[in-house]
Structures are given as structure tokens and as C-alpha cells.
Amino acid sequence: MKLLLILPIILPLTTAAVGLLCWRSIRAQQVIGLLGAGGLLAAAGSLLHGVWQNGPMALQLGNWPAPFGITLAADLFSAIMVVLAALMGFTVALYSLATVDPRRVRYGYFCFYHFLLMGVCGVFLTGDLFNMYVWFEVMLMASFVLMALGGEKEQLEGAIKYVTLNLISSAVFLTGLGILYGMSGTLNMAHLATVLPQSEHPFMVTTVAMLFLVAFGIKSAVFPLFFWLPASYHTPPVAVSAIFAGLLTKVGVYSLMRVFTLLFMGDVAYTHTLILIIAGFTMVTGVLGAAAQGEFRRILSFHIISQVGYMIMGLGLFTPLALTGSVFYIMHHIVVKTNLFLVSGVARLLGGSYRLERLGGLSLSAPGLSLLFAVSAFSLAGIPPLSGFWAKLILIIASFKDASYLIAATALLVSLLTLFSMTKIWAAVFWGEPAVAADPQPLSGRRRAALYVPIILLALITVTIGLGTGPILTLAERTADQLIDPRAYIRAVLGSVQ
């Protein structure tokens, strides 16, 4: 039973290690990469099932009791994130078979891909802050390599920006960690949650909270710390962009939500209002930035920023309903955003470019793809009855209930502008004259399957979330309850000690 907690970490590790042993064999690496991702998905699914049935669980590695040893802990939020990571891991691995060139695979694409998944799952499952830092670094190392793998000019330049900013973010994180340890003598999150409220220096706790806000803010690309994202996400191969877009900023959002629901609850009026203000600015700048762009993946990159605003808006409002909205939004966003990147890759294969002005007429040559894009794009913009509509609706109702009309108005406006951006892509890429430069390479049947199956799968999930909102909403509600009242989590980690 408790094995489930460690599986999402050791499965990708095994996959990557076996991949390293099969260095240079392209076929073997592809098979191992896909099998590993499938296994991870199965493990993540059973983890979520277990947590849903039995409540939060914890595992003390090496049998050293918390708060002294290394703890892995999963409540519903962690489990949901692990499932989403595994789902994206699987679909994008499948997509990688068709889009990542053999040279990159030979240089270990799938190994680093699984190291990345291991880091991501590690962050979601760890129960202590220092290990969260370590997992962040595992994830970053892998993402650095994926970002630069292939060594094209643009890629290297994007990688430099990505690497430098992320290193600085890790540095700020570690600084906050050190001060927190000096103040409280523990880094176990559940233990901190019981110790920090009795701290003699509440203002120091708030200071540390700000350090964490900056560190995770850089990672989740909030205003005004997002500049590395649109400068780098469009440079690597599209499968890498897709997995980064789906998971990496959301790891930052997860960490923000974890520490600002569990640890830093001393001065909610200050910290969470600040988060709400940041959320508003993030939404607006992201969507305005997108409006100015003329490249498919850069538009999508800016939309990631704007969407992160919605996610932390729920955190800033900090009511059960708002947190439900945030969790729902994260689930919806990861699926939809990854899918849009996958679509952009296919459009590039068919039309020969990512530049909007060089694309056109895909609705005639690829009607199926147009439909799949429309599903995801309208969901992103929040058109009923797709998943994005419900996510935004919950958040906006929550902000009305909290009498935060300004943020509600901002969210509505931004959603309108998102629709504008999506129609811009639609008009340029799918309507109009077929591009002159278009020279579609003929796709073999298997390659076509590897391209379209992930996209269709994710589009179906979007539609399912939209039409069958009930169960997902219940899941999000229970998750939010656990976030608001973390006693079950703390009890799972610390045992009878309270």
C-alpha cells in the first residue's frame, strides 16, 4: 500500500537508468521510454485511488520517524498532480516517438525525460522542504538538458535565459529554507505547520514567506518574474515545449499552494492579498503579451503566464470555493495547454512553420486537426460546456462571494482577450489561403497515429471534464477541503504526535 508513494519516483528512475544502459540504441530507448511512462500512469492512478479511499498517507523513508527522517506524503492535491504529470508524461512520450529526431533520442532524450518526470513527481510527493529543493534541482537539471539537447543556436540562447533565472530562483528558495530552519529547527512541512504559528517572530515568518513567494514565483512565471518563459519555451522541440508547458510552471504553482496553505498562515491578510494582486497583474500582462505575438508557440507561452494568474487567484482569495476553482483550473489547464502545444507541432509539420503569417488553410487540408484545436482553444478561452468554462466560472463565483469584484472583472476581461488570441490563431492558421511554403511531408500510418492519438486523447479528456463536471468537481472540492484544513495531512505525517 505504502509502496504506491514511492513508485512514482522509482519507476521513472528505473526507466531512466535502464535507458542509460541502452545508450545509443534508438529503438530500445523509445520502447523503454513509452513503457516506463505507461507504468508511471498506472502507479499514479492507483495512488490517487488509494488516497481517495483512505485519506492522506505518508511514508517514512528508511524507517526514520518524522520529523527527523525523510518523509513522502500524499494528500489528494499531491495525488492529483502526480496523476496529471503521469498522464502528460505518457501522452507526450507517445508524441515524442513521432516528433523527436533520432539524434536527440540517441543522446538520451528519453532518459532525461524520465529524470524530469521523477523530479516533478518528487516535488509533488515530498513531505519536507529541503527535499523539495532537491527534487526541484533534479527536475531543473533534466529540464536544462532537454532544453539544450540538440544544440541549435536558438535553443542554446533560450537555455541560457532559462538556466540563469531558474538558478537564481533556486538560490532564493535555499535562502528562505536556511532562515526557516534557523528559526524553527525543522524543515518537515507538517511539523512546520504545527511549529510556525507559535513562532516568536511572526514578522520573520512573513519575510521568509516573501522569499518563498519570489522563488516559486519565478518558477511558476508570475508577474513580474516571468520573462524567462516566453524567451525559452518556443526554442526546443515541440514535445519538450509541451511537457514543460504542461508541468514545470505548475510545479511552481503546486509549491505556492502547498506552502501558502500549510505553512504561511500567520498573516493571511497581507500575504494572500499580495498573491491576489500578483494574480491580477499576471493574468493581464500574460494575455496582452500574447496579443502582440505572431508565433504559434510564443502566443501559447504567454497564455501559460496568464493562466497561472487564474490558478493563484484562487489561492489569493483563499476560500474553500476559490481553492476548489484553483485545483479544477490546474487540472483543466495542464491537459488543455499541453494539447495546444501538441497541435502546434502538427501544424508545423503540415504547414512548415510556427509563424502565423506563413501558415494558413489547414481547415481544408486537415479538418480533423482543426476540430481538435478548436476544442482545446475554446476550452482555454472558457467557452461552455468545455472544461475551461467551469474552471473560470467557479473562480468568478468565488470572487463575487468574497466581494472581490475587481479581480472578477479582470478574470472576465482576460478570458475575453484569450478568446481573441485563440481566434487570431484560428484565422491565421486554419482559415485563409493555404500557405505557399507549405510542403507537407507524407506521414506514415504509425507516425500519424503517434501524432494524433495523444491529441485526441487529451481533447477527449477536456470534453469529458466539461460534460461530466460532477465527479471532477467533487474531487476538487475534497482536495480544497484538505488544503484548507490540513489536520489529516499533518496527522498522516507525524502520526499520533500532535
Partner 1 sequence: MELVAAIVVGGLFGAAVYLLLWRTPVKLIIGLVLLSNAINLLIFLAAGLTRGKPPIIPEGSLRAAQAVADPLPQALILTAIVISFGVLAFTLVLFSRTFKTLAATHLDEMKTTDS
Partner 2 sequence: MTSVILATATRYLMPMLLLFSAFLLFRGHNLPGGGFIGGLVAAATFILHSLVFGVGETRKILRVRPVKLMGLGLLIAMASGLVGVFTRAPFLTGKWYELVLGQGDKWHVGTPVFFDVGVYLVVIGATLIIILSLAEED
Site residues for partner 2, 243-272, by CB under 8 A, read none
33 part of the interface to partner 2, by CB under 8 A: no
Stretch binding partner 1 (CB under 8 A), from 93-101, 218-226, 228-236, 331-339: 228-236
Q: Contact with partner 1 (CB under 8 A): which of 1, 53, 63, 153?
A: 153
Nearest distance in Å: CB 319, partner 1: 35
Nearest distance in Å: CB 238, partner 1: 15
Q: Contact with partner 2 (CB under 8 A): which of 30, 60, 166, 324?
A: 60
Distance CA 21, CA 25 (A): 9
Distance CA 162, CA 228 (A): 5
Q: What is the enclosing helix (H) or strand (E) of 59?
A: strand 57-60
Distance CA 2, CA 269 (A): 38
Q: Contact with partner 1 (CB under 8 A): which of 17, 20, 107, 181?
A: 181
Q: Contact with partner 1 (CB under 8 A): which of 25, 26, 46, 130?
A: 130
Q: Contact with partner 2 (CB under 8 A): which of 4, 8, 13, 234?
A: 13
Q: Contact with partner 1 (CB under 8 A): which of 44, 80, 148, 240?
A: 148
Distance CA 345, CA 365 (A): 16
- Give CA separation, 161 vs 143, 156, 171, 228, 285, in Å: 13, 9, 16, 6, 20
Stretch binding partner 1 (CB under 8 A), from 75-83, 159-167, 342-350, 463-471: 159-167
What phi and psi values does residue 352 have, to the nearest 5 degrees?
85, 5
The helix/strand/coil state of 57 is: strand
360 part of the interface to partner 2, by CB under 8 A: no
Q: Contact with partner 1 (CB under 8 A): which of 14, 38, 55, 137?
A: 137
Site residues for partner 2, 281-340, by CB under 8 A, read none
- The torsion defined by the Cα of 417, 420, 424 and 430, in degrees rounded to 10, comes to 130
Distance CA 461, CA 345 (A): 20
Q: Contact with partner 2 (CB under 8 A): which of 6, 31, 35, 160?
A: 6
Q: Which does 20 bind (CB under 5 to 8 A by kind): partner 2, partner 1, none?
A: partner 2
Q: Report the residue number, 27 or 487, with the smaller CB distance to partner 2.
A: 27
Q: Which amino acid is at 164?
A: T
Q: Contact with partner 2 (CB under 8 A): which of 8, 33, 108, 325?
A: 108
**First-to-last C-alpha distance (Å) of the chain:** 24
236 part of the interface to partner 1, by CB under 8 A: no
14 part of the interface to partner 2, by CB under 8 A: yes
In the DSSP assignment, the letter for residue 63 is G
168 part of the interface to partner 1, by CB under 8 A: yes
CA neighbor of 412 nearest in space, from 305, 321, 285, 284: 284
CA neighbor of 455 nearest in space, from 344, 332, 367: 344
Count Cα neighbours of 269 within 13 Å in the Cβ-side half-sphere. Answer: 0
Stretch binding partner 1 (CB under 8 A), from 170-178, 191-199, 307-315, 440-448: 170-178
Count Cα neighbours of 397 within 13 Å in the Cβ-side half-sphere. Answer: 12
The helix/strand/coil state of 382 is: coil
- Cβ 190 vs Cβ 127: under 8 Å: yes
Length of the chain: 498
Q: Count the residues of the shown chain that bind partner 2, applying the rule CB under 8 A.
A: 20
Q: Report the residue number, 150 or 246, with the smaller CB distance to partner 1.
A: 150
Binding residues for partner 1 (CB under 8 A): 130, 133-134, 137, 140-141, 144-145, 148, 151, 153-154, 156-161, 163-164, 167-168, 170-171, 174-175, 177-179, 181-183, 185, 230-232, 234-235
* Contacting positions for partner 2 (CB under 8 A): 2-3, 6, 10, 13-14, 16-21, 23, 59-63, 70, 108
